[in-house]
Amino acid sequence: MTWSLILSLALWGQAAAAQPPSELESQVQRLVRQLDDDELARREAAEKKLVELGPQALDLIPPDTPRTSAEAKERLARVRRQLENVLAQSIALPTRVTLTGEMPLSAALAAISKQTGNTIVDYRLEFNQQATDPQLQLNLKEMPFWEALDHVLDEAGMTLYPYSGKEHALAMVSRAAESELPRYGRAAYAGRFRLEGTSIVASRDLRNPANHNLRLSLELTWEPSLKPIVLLQPLAQLVALDENGHSLMVEGSDGTLEIGIEGAAAAADFDINLQLPKRDVQKIASLQGKMTAIVPGKVETFEFKDITTLKDSVQRRGGVAVVFEGIRKNGDVYDLRMRVEFDKAANALESHRPWILDNVAYLVTPDGQQLSYDGLEETRRESNVAGTGYKFVLDKEPQGYSFVYKTPAAIMKVPVEYELKNIELP
């Protein structure tokens, strides 16, 4: 991390601690107005101060309007780019854990959850395992989440089960066998991500040696407080070396692996195919990779009141605009149409990525009752735009009803750089 980024994050934290949101909003509005000041020095000072306020200012910067001057638009675009970069880099940083002394496993897990915001649930009873609570002796000081959790799980003889279906949580279970190797030391730690090799298979085509193959299977997990939409691994960004420092060719190096995230899973599996080396090669000494995680930002709530009177009503937060297109009756069903427009969706809205349809949406009656939709359909999908139609079966006219919709205010690209070492070949 560069010193400028560290300074930006520090200033962000200081600003957040020093002022309540209303004061910050007023300050952002004042600085945005100052971008049109007659004096160049004051315009430059306002741009610099907006950056120093940190990513919390992103949601408070107003959208450009026809009245926004060309220079102010250019300066605001620079500010947004810098703040988005700082936010993406800060999201990539791991949360940290401090645990010292003797304590039971349950207390250690509770402390980790409190310090990091990452929920860890005991899943042993689901596997008919005995739910013991062993005493642990720990000395973890400001250790990144994944390293700290691996230490705790190793000390307790536990591991993780990533497919429990628990949203935003990791499930802990007992190890299946005493021969299972410790978790710590087998993985690559990359910010909020953990990458581990799970198997490696060499195959020889007895008819065509050109089809010889070495397949490495990997498991990627992430801190549950951060759930990516998709991860992209350009194969050209993979470098594999044997123990003699010779390169091992990655097959399909002009392509990109797209690692999709299924439901509430806390992990994703993917394979890397390498050219099968000569028999005297004993291991992959180093596998370095650079991937990109497409991650949703802060979730914002949009509320459109008295919806029977609205048509193409727009609300904006940060880098997203939500448009309430209208509602009409179709037989016994009310058809509500809306769309989401991102400034930059970072490929998150590709047609095969259904996450946008899982966004929370409901009606609110005048007396405060929430009504869930009875069906939905996708009405539009473009690079930065997604449209949805919600169907509600109502007993009466939705006079005075409100529509509530929740969506991330931005989609970010988070860099993930890793290195796996000393992978023994079969």
198 and 134 in one domain? no
173 and 197 in one domain? no
Task: Specify the DSSP element, H or E, that contains 80.
Answer: helix 70-92
Report the alpha-carbon distance of residue 374 to residue 295 in Å, rounded. 29
Phi, psi of 138 (to 5 degrees): -125, 150
pLDDT band at 20 (very low <50, low <70, confident <90, very high): low
**Is 425:282 a contact under the CB 8 Å cutoff?**
yes
pLDDT in tens, 41-75: 999 999 999 999 988 888 788 777 778 899 998 89
pLDDT band at 400 (very low <50, low <70, confident <90, very high): very high
Q: What angle do CA 408, 412, 418 make, to 5 degrees?
A: 135
pLDDT over 70 percentage in the chain:
95
How far is Cα of residue 36 from the mean position of the Cα atoms in its chain?
Answer: 36
pLDDT in tens, 265-320: 889 999 999 999 999 999 999 999 999 999 988 788 999 999 999 999 999 876 78
pLDDT in tens, 108-155: 999 999 999 999 999 999 999 999 999 999 999 999 999 999 999 999
Give 143-194 as a 3 state SS string: EEHHHHHHHHHHHHCEEEECCCCCCCEEEEEECCCCCCCCCCCCEEEECCEE
pLDDT given for residue 9 in this prediction: 46
Residue 15 has pLDDT above 60, yes or no: no
Q: Which of 198, 103, 97, 108 has its CA nearest to residue 153?
A: 108
**Helices H / strands E in the chain, number of each:** 6, 24
Residue ending a domain, among 185, 200, 233, is 185
Q: Collect all residues with Cβ–Cβ distance below 8 Å to 139 and sequence separation of at least 6.
A: 99, 100
pLDDT given for residue 1 in this prediction: 40
The pTM of the full predicted model, rounded to 2 decimals, is: 0.79
User: How many structural domains is the chain composed of?
Assistant: 4
349 and 251 in one domain? no
pLDDT in tens, 218-254: 999 999 988 899 999 999 999 999 999 999 999 988 8
> Average pLDDT, whole number, for the chain?
90
387 and 372 in one domain? yes
- Domain of residue 24 covers 3-92
**Is 341:385 a contact under the CB 8 Å cutoff?**
yes
Higher pLDDT, 261 or 391: 391
